[in-house]
Structure 1
Amino acid sequence: MSLKFSPSNYRARCFGLALALLALASGGTVRADDNELARSIVAKADEVRFPHDGFQVVVDINSSSPGEQIDERKYRVLSKGNENTIVQTLEPASDRGQAMLMRGHDLWVFMPNVSQPIRLSLAQRLTGQVANGDLARANFSGDYEPKILRTETIDGEKMHVLELTAADRGVTYAKVLYWVRQSNNWPHKAEFYSLSDRLLKVCRYEKFQNLGGRTRPTQLTMEDALKKGDISVLRYSQMTAKDLPDRVFTKQYMDKLNRID
């Protein structure tokens, strides 16, 4: 069977091809711009939550479950550049002296009566609804690839809703849905998901006050999505800038931590 050449069909095909190429080019540009905007939003929200330079902060965590006594714990966190963190246990007294050291995605716990550190994962539970990585590594901009899903209005505030997909399997959560205020890049809420896309818990960023030289959320409420009523409340205080040399974040230095004010 032969096909006859038709000028009108030829022009129509060329026009359709041109539209398709234009749409592809425009779509690619929009996606690139959207990706850059998403990364900027997450990075600015990270700066709201914690300083990038060296700092120290005290975190009180109260965890509750229906019918059980509230579990109260206190930690001191020393952090530098989102890649190096030490989490010291201050209370209860029976656990005082325990400390976690994070370098990159590597995490160890040091215990007073154990000669060798024990390797941990960021996703392991620290206490209540709080994973190790929730205290040791809160670096959304470095650990996840973000994209903007939509815009929502909550209590009169316009929010970016972003999906954060883990850059590798060494991070705390496989996926995060993240609500960030459009007006000031304050984080509002995060939903944390497993590798199988199961909702694990919901975190709300609350009580924005001056902390460490700027307005930050001083309280986080984490609620288990699978066990109703299981909640951990994290309260941040005494945040100060601190010069933390690299030698602090080494296994050899961990036994000297009690002398760091």
Structure 2
Amino acid sequence: MKFTIVFKYSLFVVLIAVLFCLLTFPSLAQKDRVTAKEIVRIADEKMRGLSSQGEYSMTIVRPTWSRTVIMKSWSKGTEYSMIYIMSPAREKGQVFLKREKDMWNWVPSIERLIKIPPSMMMQSWMGSDFTNDDLLKESSILKDYRHELSGKEDIRGYSCYKISMYPKEEAPVVWGKLVMWITTKDYHRLKTEYYDEDSYLINVENLFDIRKMDDREIPTRMEMVPVDKEGNKTIFEFKNVKFNIDIKESFFSQQNMKRVR
């Protein structure tokens, strides 16, 4: 009888301790149950915020030459974005606009506004290893893909979730599959593999230099490398970015493409 009472008391103490831990550290319990889609959502929102304004550089590297493009960018959610080219001189003033499903390019040298059709999403953006879709984001990694947690792997010393993404039927996507590695601790995206419709690996993107940018820590350098073109890569760097700024949808207009600086 005495043993039974002691055992029940000990079990009660253990249960209270477990309950206390769950109540005190709910984020730990929730993190264990987080879905693959939620992991991708957190990582994606960390990189772009609800809205943003920033300056970036893009260096295109080839075996015998390289060139750097400096740009400004504004965004609001996933439906609105505008990119203004600051340099080099021959491309200065070009503007790219995404407004919901429509995408445009203003070319001041010929004073022409060009609509970018969905068929051009797979084409190179300004001669880089990024596609039009990578920069203008016609497709959504959240809405247009199914997400599967494929396990955990270490990437450059960071424990990461490995997430495989497959396009939904009739989704407007250019890739047949994406594989993404996101850190388990702070949800930083460290690597993405891009596959075509036949499951051939086309590009590998690595992200580096995690540091404070405005109100958050994020990777601030991306390197996109085509697997079948030795010596080719494109480096995209965050220079100065402000997140969650006050910006209206009306800013993202064809008229404003000709005015932004």
TM-score, structure 1 as length reference: 0.78
User: Counterparts of 2:177 and 2:136 in 1: how far apart (Å)?
Assistant: 18
Change (3 A) 1:102 1:41: same
- The Cα shift of 1:156 comes to 4.2
User: Counterparts of 1:171 and 1:159 in 2: how far apart (Å)?
Assistant: 25
Alignment of 1:53-72 (within 5 A): 54-66=51-63, 68-72=64-68
- The Cα shift of 1:184 comes to 1.7
State the Cα deviation string for residues 51-74 of structure 1 (Å, max 9, x = none).
12x2111110111121x1112111
User: Counterparts of 1:122 and 1:41 in 2: how far apart (Å)?
Assistant: 26
User: Counterparts of 1:65 and 1:103 in 2: how far apart (Å)?
Assistant: 32
Unaligned regions of 5+ residues in structure 2, if any?
A: 1-31
Match of residue 257 from structure 1: 260
- The Cα shift of 1:146 comes to 1.1
Question: Is the 1:190–1:202 contact (alpha carbons within 8 Å) kept by the matching residues of 2?
Answer: yes
User: Counterparts of 1:35 and 1:176 in 2: how far apart (Å)?
Assistant: 22
Change (3 A) 1:86 1:172: farther
Match of residue 19 from structure 2: none
Correspondence 1:202 to 2:199:
no
Aligned-pair identity in percent equals 22
Match of residue 28 from structure 1: none
Match of residue 147 from structure 2: 146
Question: Is the 2:150–2:163 contact (alpha carbons within 8 Å) kept by the matching residues of 1?
Answer: yes
Matching residue's letter, 1:144? Y
* Counterpart pick for 2:48 among 31, 47, 50: 50
Change (3 A) 1:171 1:35: farther
Could you tell which deviates more after superposition, 92-101 or 106-115? 106-115
Change (3 A) 1:136 1:212: farther
Question: Is the 1:105–1:170 contact (alpha carbons within 8 Å) kept by the matching residues of 2?
Answer: no
Change (3 A) 1:73 1:172: farther
Change (3 A) 1:132 1:248: same
Match of residue 123 from structure 2: 124
Matching residue's letter, 2:247? L
Change (3 A) 1:172 1:103: farther
Change (3 A) 1:155 1:76: closer
* Counterpart pick for 1:185 among 187, 192, 195: 187
Question: Is the 2:153–2:160 contact (alpha carbons within 8 Å) kept by the matching residues of 1?
Answer: yes
Match of residue 134 from structure 2: 134
Runs of 4+ residues over 4 Å off in structure 1:
none
